[in-house]
Amino acid sequence: MFCALFFSPQIAVHTMTSKLEQLKRYTTVVADTGDLDAIARLQPVDATTNPSLLLKAATFPRYARMMAQIQQDFSGNPQAACEQFAVAVGTEILSLIPGRISTEVDARLSFDEQATYEYALRLIDRYEQQGVDRQRVLIKIAATWEGIQAARRLEKLNIQTNLTLLFSFAQAAACADAGVFLISPFVGRIYDWYKKALDREYVGIEDPGVQSVSRIYRYYKGNDYQTIVMGASFRNLGQIEQLAGCDRLTISPELLEQLSNESAPLERKLQSSGQSEGRAFVDEQSFRWAHNEDAMANEKLAEGIRAFARDQEKLEKLFR
């Protein structure tokens, strides 16, 4: 099963340590892996899935019996079968970790607030039927205006959310205003877009992805928002090092290995104190205009939704 693993920050170390261990002093480190044995071995706190990762999981022999039973139980209803499969996989992962599992709403509902809300309720109900308390589940939702408003309603029911595919400051401001539990700004994908669009390389603090997450982090902390910032999709160590101190960072196994093999001093870059811009007024019109003005965010959000929707459709075909 492919998922993201969350590790708690560590207390100060008294000897020369790797960059990875130094990073854990400031930040909850998240490691991406496709190895269930690694989950048991590394004992992460939390984990996360999405339609693409569930599609990959559906091809694993270990899930063949589970899928056959779900096909039998939900014959003729591939959407319900997919919901049950996501919850079944999530429940299995929860048996290996002490924390939470993130399970994603169908991306095709990204522009339908009510349908997103109802889908989330069904996921929670399915988890509770498996004996899983809602406090151990995060509902992943694409950070569209409709998705954010559905998350606002869910948070009021004590159903906590993880807003994903986040690329613009407008998305981040709206998520904070809605009181969502966690956001996942995509550092690497922002970097990719600017590198291609402007045909130039970015290093250190000049990196647009680094600048985006840094701004969001300062805005949240400076205005006392409780929403967790989890930087995602890194392309190189420089991006990680520039965001040391962020609430959480999700890092590939390859980059984690590099961090563990280097022992140069790693300085905390992001601090919870310091000046920040004031709270932004966020209503639907201002959100849509600000997001529309960000060409990168528009393209990347749409691209991400399309990709997840295609994988959701492929997963449904497996249950027909």
137 within 8 A of 100, measured Cβ to Cβ: yes
CB 179 within 8 A of CB 227: yes
E runs forming strands in the chain:
3-7, 28-33, 47-48, 101-104, 137-142, 161-166, 182-185, 228-231, 248-251
- Give 66's contacts (C-beta < 8 A, 6+ positions apart): 85, 88, 89
**171 alpha carbon, distance to own chain's centre:** 14
Structure-token pair, residue 133: 């308390």
Q: How far is the C-alpha of 159 from the C-alpha of 253, rounded, in Å? A: 30
Q: What is the three-class DSSP state of 12?
A: coil
Catalytic residue among 19, 24, 56, 140: 140
Pairing verdict, β 248-251 and 28-33:
parallel
Q: Residue 174: phi, psi to the nearest 5?
A: -65, -35
Residue 21: count of CB within 10 angstroms of its CB = 17
DSSP 277: P
| Distance separating alpha carbons of residues 259 and 289, to the nearest angstrom | 40
The structure tokens 């965001």 sit at 243
Residue 300 annotated as catalytic: no
Q: Catalytic residue numbers?
A: 140
